[in-house]
Structure 1
């Protein structure tokens, strides 16, 4: 199965998403902000199949994280999450590097489907 990095500053959201995605057998790593996530990606030399990150976070937000990861690890699929319309708007110009933006709140089935679609798109490239 896939190796997925989940990044969200809210611990409850990280745990919820991790539980949902492990139901499909994926290997999960988590980070609480973009800086921690970028460090994990660099230390793993980009060896993740999917980066699933919130947009609005302290230290380094999901947009900055996505730009850094896409620049250095262009094969890493990126899926964003946000509960804010203005943050979704900020992501609208990133279609070249971001697979999709998932709107919070979401049902467990919705995040599992979004992850499966992102991984499926990755596999077809």
Structure 2
């Protein structure tokens, strides 16, 4: 399956998402902040299939991370998560860079489907067969 870099500052959300994605056989590498995620990406060149990141984080947020990743790792799909409507709107300005923005709270099934779509490059509106 896929190797996913999960970036989320809330430990309980990070643990929930990690468990959900491991059910599908994905390997998850965790980061608590965008800066840490960027360091991981830069030291493990081309070893990830997806970046899954929260938008609201205290040091480097998901928008700044997405912009840096799109610049430095242009082939890496990016999926963002947020619990704030205004942050979701900010992310929609990145349509060409981000596969989708998943609204929190989400169910285990919803995050699994969003990740599956991002990995195959399908827009959120399309269903997976």
Same fold judged by TM-score > 0.5?
yes
Count of matched residue positions in the alignment of Structure 1 and Structure 2 = 122
Secondary structure of the 1:5 match is strand
Q: Per-residue deviation at 1:93? A: 0.8
**Could you give the per-residue CA deviations for residues 86-124 of structure 1, whole angstroms, max 9, x where no partner exists?**
1001111101110000000000000000000100117xx
Map of 1:6 onto structure 2: 6
TM-score (ref. length: structure 2) = 0.93
- In 2, distance between residues paired with 1:46 and 1:69? 11
- Runs ≥4 residues deviating over 4 A: none
- In 2, distance between residues paired with 1:9 and 1:46? 23
- Structure 2: unaligned runs, 5 residues or longer: 123-129
Structure with more of its chain in helix, by fraction: 1
Q: Per-residue deviation at 1:46? A: 3.4
RMSD: 0.9
Q: Per-residue deviation at 1:45? A: 1.1
